[in-house]
Structure 1
Amino acid sequence: MALTDSVTVLPGVGPKRQEALASLGIETVGDVLFYFPFRYDDLQVKDLAEAADQEKLTIKGVVVAPAVVARFGAHRNRVNVRLQVDHSVVMVTFFNQPWLKDKFEQGSEAAIYGKWDAKRHTMTGMKVLATQTQDAPSLAGIYPVNKNIRQSTLVQLVKDAWARDAANIQDVVPSAVRAKFKLMSDREIVHGMHFPDTPLEAKAARRSAVFREFFLFETQIQALREDNQGEANGLAIPYDNQALRALIQTLPFELTNAQKRVVNEICADMRSPHHMNRLLQGDVGSGKTIVAAIVMYAAVTARYQAALMVPTEVLAEQHYAKLTKLFADFPVKISLLTGATTAAARKHIKADLASGATDIVIGTHALIQKDVDFANLGLVIIDEQHRFGVNQRKILQEKGLKPDLLAMTATPIPRTLAITAYGEMDVSTIDELPAGRQPITTSWVRKNQLREALATISTELAAGHQVFAITPLIAESEKVDLQNAEQLYEDLNKAFGDKYQVALLHGQMKNDEKDDIMRRFSQNEIQVLVSTTVVEVGVDVPNATVMMIFDADRFGLAQLHQLRGRVGRGRSAAYCILVADPKNDAGVERMKVMTETTDGFKIAEKDLELRGSGDIFGEAQSGLPEFKIADPVADYATLNAAQQTAVGLFKADPTLSAPEFAPLRAYLARRQQAVGSLD
C-alpha cells in the first residue's frame, strides 16, 4: 500500500466517482489525505437558551419517538425526529434524506448539527454527528467541493484513506527545516487538519500545512532554476560592447538610470554561458521597447538572430516602424511577420530567417508556426508575456539552440507576488519614467456630471487631439445595468459625429476589422474610438490625449492603470476621466487611488490589498500557482521564509544529494513526471 496508489483502491470509488474526484484534482490516496478543509464548523453542543434565531449549532438529546418519513411532491420528502433536549422536546427535520430514518432508535442518544429556529423551537437538520454508537466530534471540516462530489462523500473518503494509509505518510520537508520552524510532521498535519480535537490544533496544523505547501512549490521553482541555468543549457553571446555604445549614442534622448541598469543586467546574462530566463517589468511608458532594441542589437553584433513576439498585429507593426527607424544607419536587417503578411512576402521572410539574412524579426503568433525556421536564434523576447501561454513561449525558444529568453510586462507585479508568479525567473525592473513624459491628470466624475467631461473632450478634439472612450460591455444586458459600447457609440456619434470621425471597436469583431480600425485611429483618420478593453495592451497613439472610462468601478485597479497608460504618450497634456457611480466602499476606494497616484507599483500593491491574489491577473493570464490552502498575500511572511529556505538548500546542495533529502527528491521526481517537466 502507498499514497501514490490510485484513489480507486478506496471503498466506493469506481470509474464514475474517480472521474468526479479528478475534477477536484484528486487522483491518488495521497491527494485525498492532503485535500484539506478550508474552514470548520464548531460542533460543540450549545445551550438553546443562549442560541440566536437561524444560528447554526449542535444539539444533543434523547430520541423520544421513532423517526417518521413524510412525502410531499414527486421526489421530495422529509424525516422528522423528536429529541428530548434538557427539559423540552425539539422537532428536527431533514429534507430529502430518507435513509436517515434508520439512524434514530427510540431511547438512544443523538447529536445533530443544523439551523435553529428560535421562534418555532425547531431545527432544520444539516448532519447527524453522532448516535449511541459513536462520539460526536467537536469540529467538522468543510471541504471545497463541486457539483460532482458531495461533502459527505469526501468526508468518508478522507476517513477511509486515513484508516488505510496513515502509517505510510512520510515527511517530505527535511527534519532540520521542521525543527527550525517548529513544524508538525506530515502525519500530524494530516490528522490535525482533518480530525482536530480543538480549534488550537486545527490552527497549528494549518500553520505547518501552509509552510509545507509553499516550501514544496519553492523547491520545484529552485529545481527549475538549476536546470535552466546549467551551462549545458546555456548560450554565451559575446556581443560587441563598442557597437552597443555607438547605437546608444545615436538615441535622441538619454537613457534613464533604470534603463541603463536593466540593460547591464540583461547583457551580463547574455554574455554568461548560463541560460537567461529574465523578466523585464516596467510601468506603462517606462521605456521597455528601447531596452529590447539595445539587447537585440547586442545579439546581432555576436552574429545571432533575435525574435520579438507581440500579441497583436498593430503592435507588431508599430515596433517594426520604430526599430526600422532606429537601425536605419546600422547594418541590421529587420523583418515583420504577422497573419497579414502576404504569401509572397512570407516566403521571402522565411527564406531569410532560415539562411540568416534576417537579423531581427518582429511578429505575432505567426513566428511559432512549424514552417518558420531560424539559422542561429540567440535571443527571444516576449512582449506582454502574460498574453502568451507557456507552451507558445516554449515553441519559439525551441526554434533555436536554447536561446536566451527575455519576457516583458507592463503590468507591475506587487513584490508580494513576484516570488510566486515569476519565481523561476530573474527580474529586472524599470522603476522610473523617462524625462519629458507628460503627466496624466485623472479625475472621477459621476454620471450626472457627464456634461463637464464631454466639455473636456470637445476642447481636446478642437485642438486636433484624439479620444479613447472605454466601456466594459459589448451589447445590452438585462442583468447588469452598465453603459454598453453600442449605446455609447451612438451617444458620442450624436455629440461629435458631425465634426469628427467616431468608430466602435470590440472583441467580437474579426481580427482584420479590429486591426483596420486601430490602424485608422493610429493615423488620425478616426478621432473618437469607442472600445471595450481590447485596446488595453500596447497600442501607441501619441496624439490621443483623453482616456474616458465608463463604469470605471467595474474594472480592477491594474486594468484601469493599463488603460490610462494609452494616453500621455505625446508632448501634450493628457487626461483620464473615470465615469462611475460606485455601489460600495471598495469601488469608491479604487476611484480615489486612481486620482491620487500614477505609480503602477503602488497601484498594483493596492489592487492586491483590495482584491486578493486570485483576481489580480485573471485566471487565464496569471501564471500564478493554485495553492490549496496557503494564500500568498495573507501568508506572505511564511511564503518568504519558505522561499529563502528552498534557495538555501539548493545553494548548499544543488542536486539535493544528501540522504536526508531522499523523500524530497522523490517528491520532485514524481511532480516532474506528473507534469512532463518542472516548468
Structure 2
Amino acid sequence: MTENTIFSPISVLSDVGLQRAKALNELGIYTIEDLLLYFPFRYEDLRPQNMADLVDQQKVTLEGTVASEPVIARYGRKKNRLNFRLLTDQESVMVTFFNQPWIKKQVTIDERFAVYGKWDARRRSLTGMKLLPFSSGDSSEIDAVYPASQHIRQNTIKKLVTQAFEQFQDKIANIIPETLIEKYRLIDRKTTIHDLHFPDDLKSAKIARRTATFEEFFVFQMELQVLKKRDQTENGTAIEYNIDELKKFIASLPYELTDAQKRVVNEICYDLKRPIRMNRLLQGDVGSGKTIVAAIVMFAAITAGYQTALMAPTEILAEQHANNLTKIFEGMGVNIGLLTGASGSKSKQRRALLAGIEQGDINLVIGTHALIQDDVKFKKLGLVIIDEQHRFGVKQRETLRKKGADVDVLAMTATPIPRTLAITAYGEMDVSTIDQMPNGRKPVLTSWVKNSNVRGMLDFVKKQFKAGHQAFVVTPLIEESESLDLKNAMALYDQLQTEFEPTYKVGLLHGRMKPNEKDEIMRQFKDNEFQLLVSTTVIEVGVDVPNVTVMIIYDADRFGLAQLHQLRGRVGRGQDQAYCILVADPKNETGIKRMKIMTQSNDGFKISQADLQLRGSGDVFGSKQSGVPEFRVGDPVVDIGALQTAQLEASKIVNEEDWRTDNQFRQLSDYLTIVMQKNANFD
C-alpha cells in the first residue's frame, strides 16, 4: 500500500467523501497540500475590549451580562433582527443580530456572554456577527476566516485544515533552500503553515505570511526561469518575412501608426527573424491599438509562407476578431478561418475548415479553446497570438504552441501594469508596451455620484436611449449578501426593469450563467434587442459594443482602480461621446481619493501606478490586481520587492549547470517537478 504524502488526494481524509471532495475541488483544493496552503484571507481578534478603547465602525468583542430578554422583529421579505441589551463596563449596550433568529434560544437573561461585531459609537450599539462563550482568560483568541462557498462552510474548512495538519505535519518539508531561509530570516515551512492557520497572535501570522509570500513567489519564479531557460536553449524558427509586402500593407491602413505601435512592431518583427523562439507579452491600454499590431505581425509571418493562429477566451470575442481582421486584410491574400465550439463537432462546414487548415489553404485561424483540440492540424504554423493571455492556463497555451514546430508566441493583455511589475510577474517573457493612445480617440467622460443623486443619472440614461444608444450597469454581487450592503445584480435588475420597461428593455448577465448563455445574452445586446444590460464583472474584458455610450458602476468604491479602468474601457468604442458614472458612498479618505483619480485620468498606466501607491504595504491580505498572475498569499503589487528578490534568486539557481543534482536543491527540484506536472494537469 502506497504511503500517503501531502500530494495525496484530499479524499484520504476521513471526513471527505465524494460530495465534499467536489465542493473542495471548486475552491481549487485537490490535494492535502492544496488544503494546507488554503490560507485565511483575514483574522478576527476575538479578545474582549474595554468600552473606553472602542473605535467607531471597528470590529470588536464586548463581554457582559444579558440585561434584557431577546426580542425578534420581522421586516421585509424573509428578514428579521434580534435585539437584546448587554451590560458591560457599567453601560447597557444594544446588541442586534440580523437574520439569525436561532440565537434567541442561546441567549438567556442574566447569563454572561461575549459578542463579536461592529461598534457604532454614535448609537452606542453593536451589530453582532458572532456570539461567543464568556472568556476563559485565554489571550490568544485569534479566529481565522477562510474563503468559503455555498457548498462548503467556514467551520468545515477549519475542521479539515486541522485534521490535515495533525495527520500530515511530519511530512511537511522545506522547499526554500536552507541558505535562503538563513539569508532572508525566514521560518521553516511547517511553522509557516501552522502559524497562518492557528496563530497565537496577529504578529506570528504576519511573520508566517512573510515566509509564505516568499515561498509562493520563489516557486512561481523557479517555474518561469525553467521555462525561460528552455526557450533560450531550444531552437526557434527564423521567419524571413517580406519587408516590402509588409511596408505596403502598413501603408494601406486608413491611419498612421502611433510611435508606440511602430516601436512594438519593430520589437516583435526583430524577434520573428531570430532563430530563437519568441515568447513575448504585448500589453497596452484599452483602445491603444493592440489588434492592428497583431494584424501586422501576423501578416509578416504569412508573407514568409507560415500560418498564424489567434486564440481568444470567448466565442463572441473570437467572432469580433474575425470580423475586424477580415476588413483589415481585405484584398491582401489572407484566408481567415473561424473555429469555435459553435462550429459543431461533426458538421460539414467544420470538416471543410479543418481540411483547409491542414492543407495550408487557410493561413490565419481565429478561435477559442477549440483550436487546441486533437483534430486541429496545421500544415506550417509559425506564429501563435493569445488574446487576454491570463484567461488561459499554462497547459492550454503550451498545447497550442505544440501545434507547430518551434512556434513563436505573442501573448496580449489589455491590463496595463507598471513595467517593473510586468517584467517580474511575467519573468519568462519579453515585454512590449503600447503606452500611447491613437490620435482623435475621445476619452470617456467619467463622473462620480452618490446614491442619493441617482435620479438625475437615470434621467440622463433615458436621454441616451432616446438618441438610440445603450448602457451597461455593473454591480459587485449576484444575489443579496447578509454581510455586505451592496447593490446586487438581481435586485438592481428588478429595480431598473421597473424604471425603464416597457419603453426600453433590460437584460441580465452574471458569472453563474453557462458560457453559451453569456454569449447569447451578449449577442442579443449587441443586436440592440435590449438597451440596458445589468451585469456582474463578467463583461470586464474584451467585448466590443460600439453603440454603448454609458457605463454605470454601482458600489464603485468596492472595485480596484485597475478593474474600474477595465470596465470603463467597455464603452467609447464608437464615434459618439461615451460616459462612465461611478455610483459610490466611500467610507474613508482612500475611497474618496480613488473616485477622484478615476474622474481625473483615462491613462491606464497612471491609474495602475496610483493603485500601487494607494494600496501601499499596510494591506496584509490585499485584493488582487487584475491581469497579473494570482497568488494565494502574496500580492505582486504590494509585495513587489519580495517578487523581485524571488526572481533574482530563482534565476541564479536555474543558471547553475548542475542545480538539479546539487544536494542543497534536491528537495526543491523534486517539488518543482511535481508542481509543474500538477499545474499542467489541472489547467
- Matched residue, 1:520: 527
d(CA) in 2 for partners of 1:15, 1:299: 53
- 1:468 touches 1:530 (CA, 8 Å); kept in 2? yes
Q: Does 1:510 align with 2:517?
A: yes
- Matched residue, 2:403: 399
Equivalent residue letter for 2:412: M
- 1:32 touches 1:161 (CA, 8 Å); kept in 2? no
Distance 1:148 1:269, change over 3 A: farther
d(CA) in 1 for partners of 2:652, 2:194: 30
The correspondence of residues 612-651 of structure 1 with structure 2, limited to 5 A, is 615-616=623-624, 623-627=629-633, 630-651=634-655
The correspondence of residues 252-331 of structure 1 with structure 2, limited to 5 A, is 252-331=254-333
Of 333, 355, 358, the residue aligned with 2:359 is 355
Deviation at 1:193, TM superposition (A): 8.4
Deviation at 1:181, TM superposition (A): 3.6
- Matched residue, 2:431: 427
Deviations 1:465-515 (A, max 9, x none): 623131438988596655623432442346xx3xxx655353558356425
Q: In terms of mean alpha carbon deviation, does 397-406 or 319-328 score higher? A: 397-406
d(CA) in 1 for partners of 2:156, 2:517: 40
Deviation at 1:442, TM superposition (A): 0.9
- Matched residue, 2:472: 469
Distance 1:489 1:473, change over 3 A: farther
Deviation at 1:344, TM superposition (A): 4.2
Determine helix, strand or coil for the equivalent of 1:236. Answer: coil
Distance 1:126 1:323, change over 3 A: same
d(CA) in 2 for partners of 1:415, 1:259: 16
The correspondence of residues 9-158 of structure 1 with structure 2, limited to 5 A, is 15-17=13-15, 124=133
Determine helix, strand or coil for the equivalent of 1:568. Answer: coil
- 2:507 touches 2:530 (CA, 8 Å); kept in 1? no
Distance 1:416 1:656, change over 3 A: same
Distance 1:38 1:452, change over 3 A: closer
Q: Does 1:382 align with 2:382?
A: no
- 1:465 touches 1:527 (CA, 8 Å); kept in 2? no
Distance 1:572 1:471, change over 3 A: closer
Q: Does 1:484 align with 2:492?
A: yes
Equivalent residue letter for 1:380: V
- 1:8 touches 1:14 (CA, 8 Å); kept in 2? no
Distance 1:452 1:612, change over 3 A: farther
d(CA) in 2 for partners of 1:654, 1:15: 38
Determine helix, strand or coil for the equivalent of 1:469. Answer: strand
d(CA) in 1 for partners of 2:518, 2:333: 34
Q: Tell me the C-alpha RMSD between the 2 structures.
A: 5.0
Deviations 1:572-609 (A, max 9, x none): 43322234445666654443232122122333355565
- 1:564 touches 1:576 (CA, 8 Å); kept in 2? yes
Under a length normalisation based on structure 1, what TM-score does the superposition of the two structures give? 0.70
Q: In terms of mean alpha carbon deviation, does 607-616 or 222-231 score higher? A: 607-616
Distance 1:17 1:125, change over 3 A: farther
Q: In terms of mean alpha carbon deviation, does 174-183 or 153-162 score higher? A: 153-162
Distance 1:647 1:410, change over 3 A: same
- Matched residue, 1:247: 249
Equivalent residue letter for 1:485: Y
- Matched residue, 1:410: 414
Equivalent residue letter for 2:426: Y
Distance 1:491 1:647, change over 3 A: same
d(CA) in 1 for partners of 2:114, 2:555: 40
- 1:6 touches 1:27 (CA, 8 Å); kept in 2? no
- Greater C-alpha radius of gyration: 1
Distance 1:187 1:307, change over 3 A: closer
Determine helix, strand or coil for the equivalent of 2:527. Answer: helix
Deviation at 1:248, TM superposition (A): 1.5
Of 231, 235, 242, the residue aligned with 2:234 is 231
Of 586, 590, 593, the residue aligned with 2:597 is 593
Deviation at 1:289, TM superposition (A): 0.3
Distance 1:372 1:139, change over 3 A: same
Determine helix, strand or coil for the equivalent of 2:351. Answer: helix
- Matched residue, 1:529: 532
Deviation at 1:300, TM superposition (A): 0.9
Q: Does 1:668 align with 2:672?
A: yes
Distance 1:328 1:612, change over 3 A: farther
- 1:473 touches 1:485 (CA, 8 Å); kept in 2? no
Under a length normalisation based on structure 2, what TM-score does the superposition of the two structures give? 0.69
Question: Where in structure 1 are there 5+ consecutive unaligned residues?
Answer: 57-113, 118-122, 130-137
Deviation at 1:253, TM superposition (A): 1.9
Equivalent residue letter for 1:472: T
d(CA) in 2 for partners of 1:423, 1:539: 28
- Percent sequence identity over matched residues? 45
d(CA) in 2 for partners of 1:5, 1:319: 48
Determine helix, strand or coil for the equivalent of 1:510. Answer: helix
- Matched residue, 1:562: 566
Deviation at 1:349, TM superposition (A): 2.0
d(CA) in 2 for partners of 1:37, 1:504: 36
Determine helix, strand or coil for the equivalent of 1:429. Answer: strand
Distance 1:426 1:490, change over 3 A: farther
- Matched residue, 1:62: none
Deviations 1:397-440 (A, max 9, x none): 34333532222221223567646753433332211111111122
- Matched residue, 1:441: 445
- 1:243 touches 1:301 (CA, 8 Å); kept in 2? yes
- 2:562 touches 2:607 (CA, 8 Å); kept in 1? yes
- 1:43 touches 1:140 (CA, 8 Å); kept in 2? yes
Determine helix, strand or coil for the equivalent of 2:283. Answer: strand
Deviations 1:125-180 (A, max 9, x none): 67798xxxxxxxx9798667775768689679767867x67xxx876544554554
Equivalent residue letter for 2:14: K
Equivalent residue letter for 2:430: D
Q: In terms of mean alpha carbon deviation, does 376-385 or 338-347 score higher? A: 338-347
- 1:8 touches 1:18 (CA, 8 Å); kept in 2? no
Deviation at 1:375, TM superposition (A): 1.5
Of 216, 230, 250, the residue aligned with 2:219 is 216
d(CA) in 2 for partners of 1:32, 1:323: 45
Deviation at 1:657, TM superposition (A): 5.2
Determine helix, strand or coil for the equivalent of 1:484. Answer: helix
Determine helix, strand or coil for the equivalent of 1:514. Answer: helix
Determine helix, strand or coil for the equivalent of 1:329. Answer: coil
Deviations 1:634-676 (A, max 9, x none): 4332222122222233345485555543443333234345545
d(CA) in 2 for partners of 1:481, 1:171: 45
Deviations 1:377-410 (A, max 9, x none): 2222222234444444344334333532222221
- 2:395 touches 2:681 (CA, 8 Å); kept in 1? no
d(CA) in 1 for partners of 2:380, 2:250: 25
Deviation at 1:305, TM superposition (A): 0.9
- 1:472 touches 1:485 (CA, 8 Å); kept in 2? no
Determine helix, strand or coil for the equivalent of 1:408. Answer: strand
Distance 1:589 1:225, change over 3 A: same
d(CA) in 1 for partners of 2:452, 2:487: 16
Deviation at 1:293, TM superposition (A): 0.4
- 2:472 touches 2:548 (CA, 8 Å); kept in 1? no
Distance 1:259 1:458, change over 3 A: same
